[in-house]
Each structure stands twice: as structure tokens, then as C-alpha cells.
Structure 1
Amino acid sequence: MANDSRLAAWEFFGSELKRRRENAGMTQVELGSRVFVSGGYIGQFEQAIRKPQLDVAQRIDEALQTDGIFERMWKRLIREQPYTEYFAHVAELERLATKICEYAPMVIPGLLQTPEYARAVFLAGNPLAADEYIEELLRGRMDRTQLLKDATRPVYWAILHEAALRVPVGEAGVMAGQLDKVAAMMRERTVLVQVLPFAAGAHPEMGKMMKLMEFEDAPPTIYTEGVLSGSLLDDPAVVKRIQASYDLLRATALSREASLALIESAAEDYRRCASTT
């Protein structure tokens, strides 16, 4: 029900945008040119297919002289999201993507996480947080994982650095369960996963998490994340450069078969460790 109400609110955002644009005598293309997006994007905003980023909402207010109404609606709607502000738009785009490629240098990606592993990640970053807050974060994370269970799921390809397998998150049993889940999804051919081994040595994107998303009717985007911040990039030149970096990582990583064997071996190591503690 909460998701339905958020969708209805974004639909209102879109209908209000269309009404005010038409009252201003602008086409979608004309408004798009003023706020530095395509006319097609404006149409997708109006249909609530895509959500604008904050700076676009602010430029729409300026172009239509709406006294900040779209910025205020955007901030209200984002606050109602179960994700941090800088990630909320990315979560929306994941649902629209036809293909998602990720590189994870240290932590298993959120879309692949088990509840136990995700809880350990949140507790590590919020050691003094109340249980209710951790559970709220966990619900949002687990809602995202449903994406890969849908019949219309995107093609999902992840490259995990071996460090993500070897650095314990939570107890040994948690790590064993997490790696078992990744291995099971690989065997079921739900996802494609490769491991970049320690033996591969240094590479240009060594410590940089990246998520590449492709869409049916929109340009690809890149998401990278820092400390309590994230950047969503769609400049064609930047996207092309990062895609090339991802291709190099993919070429350097182990084959799917060797990756699965390494993940299963690491899971077994954690299982043995858990049984002796």
C-alpha cells in the first residue's frame, strides 16, 4: 500500500508538471531544453515513469516560475522513500533497468544480500542505532532484492573482488549463508557473477564501487558511491569511459565456473570456522 501511495504521489507530480508546462505554452522539448534534459525525459516525468533528480526539479521551477513547488514536492516524496536521499533515485532506476552490471570491491552488492548479512552491514555502520532503525533499513534492502525474483528481472552481472568474499561481515555463519546464496543464484542462472582474485593485482578501479544500468528507452547511467554520498552520471563520454573500465575488470576476472568454485570454497571455509566456535 505504501508503494501504491508513493506512485500516486509521483503521478500527481507528473500531472502537475504537465498542467503547468502547458499553461506556460511550452512543449516537452522546449521545457527539456531549458532544464538540460531531453523532451522524452520530460514526458517520462509527466507519466511518472522516471523521477527527476533534485537539480532538475529546481530548474523546472525556475523555467516555469512555480515558486519552488516541484522542489518541495520532490523533497517530500524522497523523504517518504525507505532509502537515503542520495540513493532513492537509484532504487527507482533499478526497477526500470533492463541490465544492471556492478563491481563490488569490498561488500556483497545489496541486490544479492541475505537479511543476516545486510543486518550486519547496517550494524557495522550504525553501532549505536536503535533496533527499529536497523529493521527499517533492512526492510528497504530486502524490498530491493525482490527485483531479481521477478519474471521480468533485468540481466544482472556482478564482479566481486575476492576481498568481498574474505573480509568477514558478521559471524562466520552469516558469511557462509551469504556466499551460499550467491552460489545458488549462480547455479540457478538467475545472475552472472565473476570474482576478481587477489592474484589479479592492481587495476584502475580497485576501490571504486560502480553500478551500470541500461534501459529500454533511455540512455545508460552510472552510479558510484562514496562516504554517505552517491553520484548518478549519465554524460555519454563518462559512461563510455566507465563501461570500458568495467569491461577490463570483466576480462581480468575469473571465469564463471572458477568464480563459483572459489565462492563455494570460501563458504565452506566459513562453515568450518563456524562449527569450531
Structure 2
Amino acid sequence: MANGSRGSRQAAWEFFGAELKRRREDAGFSQSVLGARVFVSGGYIGQFEQAIRKPQLDVAERIDEALQTDGFFERMCRKLIDDKRYADYFAAVVELEALATRICEFAPTLVPGLLQTAAYAHAVTLAANPFVTDAYVEDIVTARMERAGILKDATRPEYWVVLHENTLYIPVGGPTVMAQQLDHVAALMRERQVLVMVLPYEGGAHACMGGALKLMEFDDAPPTLYTETEYSGTLVDEPVVVKHAQRTYDLLRGAALSPEASLALVESAAEDYRRCTSTT
């Protein structure tokens, strides 16, 4: 079901791109001219037309204004980013993750979605939604596994993660699920697909006491910050705010254990959970 949905969404983005190209050419605009009118590069417009990159909603609105298309691209963009498997405030983040060249994330309590195993994601989803159907949980878990696929791509982003030590010792799903989850993180670390550092309890207060944060960098767009609390998230590209968040992330990295010490701690925690399962 999820794979079919993903395929149809991609086909719809390809239609978006084909319509953009047709209407741009009808207006007599080159990609560079249209890009200048909507404040992106001509290369961006080309990537929209090839469905390589998905425009953010404000860009779609400016395209409508430049091409005088009476809200066509805004309406289509709204429909395509409305993926019910994600909270409204998170759908745009999923699109941006796939385009990022570098992602820097801080996780204060839970292993981040891009690193989760299916069993861990299932436990997290069910804990937050105890009355939903199995099909709903499966859709959410499948979507999360699809997101994690960007780490397997040849063009995968650099992925830096600071995990608070909480994430190792909150027993999501029980000892077996946690042992498997931490083994998965350790394997990604050893394979150098991600760079993970653990912020230890002994560090005390730290630079980001308010919640999770994610910084995303791109080849030809300004960096973006995403912050999240329990019920909402905020996507920001205001340069002053992003710069402040980058400094915060630098402080978190400075307070964290080295990658080598972090790997040893992750592996030790996984072994502790395995011992729990062998004695029960």
C-alpha cells in the first residue's frame, strides 16, 4: 500500500514538473528568467520540472504569480505535501531530508526516525497512539523505513547525530527491541554511514534543553532548521536563527563523547539489554 502511494505521488510530481515546463514555455520564460522572478536559481526550476526537487509551498505560490496560473501550482503542491502518514508540520521536513547534503540532528529522548528499526518505530507509534488499528501503525512504520532509505543512497547526506544518553536507556519496546535497535545504530556507525556521538548524563545541563533539533544543508539553497516539541514542529530558514542553532549544535558536539567512546557505550548498552533477555 505504502509503496503504491509513493509511486503515485512521484508520478504526480512528474506531472507537476511537466505542467511547469509547458506553462513556462507558453509564457516565453527561460528557466533562469522564471527562477529570478520567484527567487530561486534557474537550475532549481529545471529540477522542479524533472521532479528531482519538490518546491516548497511559498515557491509554488510565487510561480503562480509569475505565470498567472490562478493558484494551480499552489493547490497541487498543497495536495502533494499532504501525506497523512506524517503530521502536517513534518511533511515538508521529509521532502527536505531527501534533498539535503548534510543533516545534523540532536535527539534528547528517542532514537531519531532515520535510525529507527521497524520494531522500535512500531513501539514508539503504538505508545503515542494506543487506540489505532494495526494498519495505521503499519503505514506509519513503513513511511519511517522509507525515510531511512536516504542513508542507503549513493548520494546520501552526511548524517551527524548527537544522542543524549537517555536514548540508550529508555527501554522502548523492551530489552529485545532495544538490543536490536542499538545494534543497528552501532552497525551504521561501524560502516561509517552515520557519525553518532553520545551526550552523557555526567555532562549535566547542555546547550539544547528545550527539545530535538535538526539542521539541514543543501547544495544550492540556504540551510534550514527544524525544531520539534511533543505536539508541534517548526521549520525555519531565517539566517540569524539558523546561525544560532548551528552554534548550539557545535556546543552539543563539544560536550559529547568522541565517536569511538560513543560506539563503545552504544555497544555496551546493547549488551546490557541482551543480558536482560537471557535472564528472563
- Normalization by structure 2: what TM-score? 0.87
1:72 alignment partner in structure 2: 75
The one-letter code sitting in structure 2 at the alignment partner of 1:202 is A
2:238 alignment partner in structure 1: 235
Partners of 2:84 and 2:126 in 1: CA distance:
20
Which of residues 122, 125, 143 in structure 2 aligns to 1:122? Answer: 125
Q: Which moved more, 1:50-59 or 1:109-118?
A: 50-59
Q: Which moved more, 1:157-166 or 1:21-30?
A: 21-30
Structure 1 residues 151 and 28: CA distance shift in structure 2, 3 A: closer
User: What stretches of structure 1 move > 4 A for 4+ residues in a row?
Assistant: 24-40
1:149 alignment partner in structure 2: 152
Residue 195, structure 1, aligned to residue 180, structure 2: no
Per-residue CA deviations over 1:37-56 (Å, capped at 9, x if unaligned) read 45554443333222122233
Per-residue CA deviations over 1:26-74 (Å, capped at 9, x if unaligned) read 5556655655545554443333222122233234334443232222211
CA contact (8 A) 2:215 2:223 kept: yes
1:45 alignment partner in structure 2: 48
2:207 alignment partner in structure 1: 204
SS at match of 1:224: strand
Per-residue CA deviations over 1:141-179 (Å, capped at 9, x if unaligned) read 111222222333222211101111122211121111111
Partners of 1:31 and 1:38 in 2: CA distance:
9
Per-residue CA deviations over 1:195-247 (Å, capped at 9, x if unaligned) read 00111111231232122222233332222223443322223332222111111
Partners of 1:73 and 1:151 in 2: CA distance:
30
Residue 178, structure 1, aligned to residue 181, structure 2: yes
1:214 alignment partner in structure 2: 217
Residue 111, structure 1, aligned to residue 111, structure 2: no
How many pairs are equivalent? Answer: 277
1:55 alignment partner in structure 2: 58
The one-letter code sitting in structure 2 at the alignment partner of 1:173 is T
Residue 161, structure 1, aligned to residue 173, structure 2: no
Partners of 1:151 and 1:16 in 2: CA distance:
29
- Normalization by structure 1: what TM-score? 0.88
CA contact (8 A) 1:51 1:89 kept: no
Counting aligned pairs with the same residue, the percent is 67
Which of residues 262, 265, 268 in structure 2 aligns to 1:265? Answer: 268
The one-letter code sitting in structure 2 at the alignment partner of 1:187 is R
SS at match of 1:218: coil
Q: Report deviation, 1:185.
A: 1.7
Which of residues 254, 257, 276 in structure 2 aligns to 1:254? Answer: 257
Structure 2: 5+ residue runs without aligned partners?
Answer: none
CA contact (8 A) 1:200 1:252 kept: yes
- After superposition, the CA RMSD in angstroms is 2.4
Partners of 2:83 and 2:212 in 1: CA distance:
26
CA contact (8 A) 1:112 1:182 kept: yes
Partners of 1:81 and 1:19 in 2: CA distance:
30
